[in-house]
């Protein structure tokens, strides 16, 4: 997220929103990301979505880490450096997506909202994700956030990259594993769900 911002070629939809709010309030973009995550988490309550360790860690750490990274990273001016920086940021976010979902400690607040809306409404996850991200992108641009070629590259690349890294970092099951999709019998508790594993493109703010 910090690399995308330093590249200055456009951010992913949620970070366009975070940047717009940051510009308008004077609060750091990382802190805005944390606050937004906490507020989005409130919408989980009526949807009866349960947070996990990964959910709470996301709210507390993603934005804080972004602020530290921005403090450490210098400003980049040359286009020859900004383009590779943006491309590298998208690839790293794809890797982060594969890592955090494969760990199976719960989705980030934005991803959990999308999957909860999918469960409650019966609409496709793709539709839920598109609707939410178009909304926050529009709001962020109105607030002064930066959208550009990096936004387009992220939108086109994050799905295939996430799918690749999900397979790369996948935790292989053992014969004693408890996975409800591989076990049709009823009356047996499951240790975790693969719902997030079926979601190909989580938001940048949730993957970091």
Sign of CA dihedral 156, 107, 63, 165: negative
Q: What is the mean pLDDT of the segment spanning 145-164? A: 89
Cβ–Cβ under 8 Å, residues 108 and 54 = yes
- For residue 28, the number of C-alpha atoms closer than 13 Å in the C-beta half-sphere is 14
- In this prediction, residue 29 carries a pLDDT of 96
Give the integer Cα–Cα distance in Å for 96 and 78. Answer: 27
- In this prediction, residue 180 carries a pLDDT of 39
How would residue 126 be classed by pLDDT, with cut points 50, 70 and 90? confident
- In this prediction, residue 173 carries a pLDDT of 61
Query: Which pLDDT tens digit goes with each residue over 13-70?
Result: 999 999 999 999 999 999 999 999 999 999 999 988 888 998 999 999 999 999 999 9
């Amino acid at each position: 997220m910090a690399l995308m911002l330093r590249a200055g070629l456009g951010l992913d939809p949620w970070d366009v929103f975070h940047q717009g709010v940051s510009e308008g309030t004077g609060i750091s973009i990382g802190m805005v990301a944390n606050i937004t995550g906490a507020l989005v988490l409130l919408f989980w309550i009526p949807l009866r979505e349960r947070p996990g360790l990964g959910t709470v860690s996301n709210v507390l750490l993603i934005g804080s880490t972004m602020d530290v990274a921005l403090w450490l990273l210098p400003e980049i001016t040359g286009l020859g450096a900004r383009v590779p920086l943006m491309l590298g940021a998208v690839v790293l976010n794809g890797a982060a997506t594969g890592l955090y979902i494969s760990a199976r400690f719960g989705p980030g607040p934005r991803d959990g909202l999308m999957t909860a809306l999918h469960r409650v409404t019966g609409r496709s996850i793709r539709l839920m994700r598109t609707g939410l991200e178009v909304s926050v992108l529009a709001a962020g641009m109105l607030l002064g956030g930066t959208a550009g070629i990096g936004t387009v590259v992220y939108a086109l690349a994050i799905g295939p990259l996430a799918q690749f890294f999900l397979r790369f970092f996948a935790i292989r099951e053992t014969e004693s594993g408890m996975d409800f999709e591989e076990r049709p019998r009823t009356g047996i508790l499951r240790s975790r769900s693969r719902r997030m594993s079926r979601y190909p493109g989580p938001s940048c703010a949730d993957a970091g």
